[in-house]
Amino acid sequence: MTRYHGRFLRKTAIVTGAGSGIGAALTRALVAAGAHVVCTDIDLTAAKATAGAAKGYGHADAVRLDVTDGDAVQALVDSVVADHGRLDLMFNNAGICLLGDTEDLSLQQWNAIIDVNIRGVVHGVHAAYPQMLRQGGGHLVNTASMGGLMAGGLLTSYVMTKHAVVGLSLALRTEAASRNVGVTVVCPAAVETPMLDKGEIGPVRGRDYYLKGQGIKHPVDPDVLAGKVLAAVTANRPLVVEPVQARIAWRIGRLSPAFVLRSGARFVERQRALARSLVEHP
C-alpha cells in the first residue's frame, strides 16, 4: 500500500485530461492509493489506456469528457454521485498550451484556450463544489502552472488562463475553508508530458523554450509530481509548486518583480534568436 492509503482508500475521484501526462499520473497514484477513479479525457482511447494501466488497491473507469461542455461535466458528476453516493475528489486537470508570439494567435485560438483552461475548470468547480458542500466535505484540485504565478513571454494566452486558475482556486479556498472542502492549485514548471511538444506557433519550439532556454536539464517526472499532489491534498495545502528551482524563482519574483520582468524580456529575445537559428540551421 502507498503511504496515502488511509486518506484515499475507497474515495471516489474524477480526473479530467487523464489520457496522458499529469492526469494519467494522478490516476495511477490514486488507484495505487485505493481510490476509485473516473478517468476522463476528450480522447476516449487515451483514457482507456490510462485506466487499464493503473494498478493498485483501487480501480479506474474511462469516460470520454469534453470539459468545455458544462452540461456534460455536470452530468458526469451527477452520475458518479448516483453510483457511489458522493464525490470526494475533483481534479480539474485538462488543459492546452499555445507557444509563440501573441500577434500570431488567431481569435479562434484565444477562444479555444479560454474554453479549455478557464471554462473547463469553472465547469468542474460548478458541478463538484455544490455537491461537496451538500455531502459535508471533499477536495478540489485545479492544475495551473508556474505560468499562473509568474509571467512568461511567448506564452501570453496560457499565462493568462493559468493566472485565472490560481486566482479562482485561492479565492475559493477562503470560502470553502470553514465548510470542510479543501482547494489546492498545482503550479509545476516543465513536466515531462506531451504538452512540451505541442501548441507551437511559428518557429519557437516547445522543448527549446521550456528546457534549453530556461537552463533546465530534465523536466519534472509526472509520477513524482502526482505524489506531491496527493501529499498536498492529505495536508490540505493551498499550493503545489515544483520543483525546488520553481519555488526559488517564484520567491525571487515576489521580492523583486521588476527584476523578473527585465529578465523575462531578455529571455524572450534569446528565445527568438534561438528560434531564428533553428530555422536557418535546422
Domain extents in the chain? 5-280
pTM: 0.91
Q: Which long-range contacts (CB under 8 A, 24 or more apart) does 235-239 make?
A: 236/139, 236/182, 236/184, 237/184, 238/169, 238/170, 238/173, 238/183, 238/184, 238/185, 239/184, 239/185, 239/187
User: What amino acid occupies position 57?
Assistant: Y
Matching residue, cell 523578473 = 260
End-to-end CA distance of the chain: 48
Print pLDDT tens along the chain (282 aa).
455 556 899 999 999 999 999 999 999 999 999 999 999 999 999 999 999 999 999 999 999 999 999 999 999 999 999 999 999 999 999 999 998 889 999 999 999 999 999 999 999 999 999 999 999 999 999 999 999 999 888 899 999 999 999 999 999 999 999 999 999 999 998 887 776 666 455 545 555 555 554 556 678 899 999 999 999 999 999 999 998 888 888 998 899 989 888 888 888 887 777 777 766 665
The yes-or-no answer on residue 158 being catalytic is yes
What CATH architecture is 5-280? 3-Layer(aba) Sandwich (3.40)
CA pair distance 26, 54, nearest whole angstrom: 10
> Active-site residue among 4, 129, 158, 209?
158
